[in-house]
Amino acid sequence: MSIDRLLMVIFLLIAGANVSDVIADYQMHVGTWHLVVEGTTVVISILAFLVLWRRIIERRRELKSLQESITRLQSKAASVAADKTSETPVKTTSATSMKGSYPAVQNWFKEWKLSPSEQQVAVLLIKGLSFNEIASVRNTKEKTVRQQASSIYAKSGLSGRNNLSAWLIDALLE
């Protein structure tokens, strides 16, 4: 169970317990100030539940969008690769001749000898996803993503996510 879901359950339990307590206190004619404090707790718990629920729904949409994006990029890459094999050879095949395009990025990834899964992780790292989010998008474990990220940094000679993103921006702007 994710931390968000656990918090949602906790907030619902708090709200439910406080609602029953407010009802019991009201029937026992407890002071107004006490009812106001407990009522406020109920409202805050319900609002926290609603905020977390909305956050989970938005996160699921984002992850689904990223999964679709990965699928589109994989299809595009396959299409570009198929087109290249059917075309006549071009003199320049270096990454510098294709700056500013996804094939250029793929070419750099190939120069670094990244596996297809490492390439996916690299793209998602550049997009700013956390290891946990990348694991969710790729249906894998966070530990696997961390290992792949370490491998990406080692193969590229870069020291981390910030350097990877900065390198890509610099390379595409040249």
Distances (CA, A) of 160 to 93, 156, 168, 171: 27, 10, 12, 16
**DSSP states along 10-48:** HHHHHHHHHHHHHHHHHHTT--HHHHHHHHHHHHHHHHH
The domain defined by 97-174 folds into Arc Repressor Mutant, subunit A (1.10.10)
Q: What pLDDT, on the 0 to 100 scale, is given for residue 98?
A: 41
Residue 119 burial (CB count, 10 A): 21
24-48 pLDDT, tens per residue? 999 999 899 999 998 898 898 888 8
Region 84-106: mean pLDDT is 52
pLDDT confidence of 99, banded at 50, 70, 90? very low
- The angle at the Cα of 134, spanning 133 to 137, to the nearest 5 degrees, equals 85
For the entire predicted model, the pTM comes to 0.50
Q: Specify whether the CB–CB gap between 120 and 128 falls below 8 A.
A: no
Residue 136, both tokens: 């969710």
Region 123-136: mean pLDDT is 87
Maximum pairwise Cα distance, the chain: 89
Region 8-15: mean pLDDT is 84
102-118 pLDDT, tens per residue? 677 778 888 889 998 89
Percent of the chain with pLDDT over 70: 81
Please name the helix (run of DSSP H) or strand (run of DSSP E) that holds residue 119, with its range, or none: helix 116-126
